[in-house]
Amino acid sequence: MLTASDLARCRAIRAPGDAVAAIVEAVAAETGISAADIRGTRRWANISAARQVVYYAAHRDGVSVPQIAAAMGRDASTVQHGIKAERERRGE
């Protein structure tokens, strides 16, 4: 879904919140779901799946669960669940 150059650009950003914001923008561009919806509270399946991709990609890139939660305005347990759900979808 995200290209190597997208991830490299995200890694180059130092602040965890900025890295998460860059990943949100990349996922929004890839999925056609607005960044506002990804950051929002709607629980539609396609939006939730995109949000979970953000959690997974940010965590894989070294951002901690509490930092992802703070950047996304979510509880850490919600982020942890999303990471687990995306790993299961990917067969990891």
- Residue 6 has a pLDDT of 74
Spatial distance between the Cα atoms of 61 and 15, rounded to a whole number of angstroms? 12
- Residue 18 has a pLDDT of 83
- Residue 10 has a pLDDT of 66
- Residue 88 has a pLDDT of 97
Would you kindly state where each structural domain of the chain is located, as residue ranges?
A: 4-90
CATH superfamily for 4-90 is DnaA protein, C-terminal DNA-binding domain (1.10.1750.10)
Q: What does each C-alpha distance from 37 to 10, 45, 64, 79 come to in angstroms?
A: 20, 12, 22, 16
- Residue 24 has a pLDDT of 97
In terms of phi and psi (left: phi > 0; alpha: psi -120 to 50; beta: otherwise), the region of 62 is left
Below-50 pLDDT ranges, the chain? none
CA-nearest of 67, 63, 59 to 84 is 59
- Residue 4 has a pLDDT of 76
Per the listing, tokens 């939660």 go with: 69
- Residue 58 has a pLDDT of 95
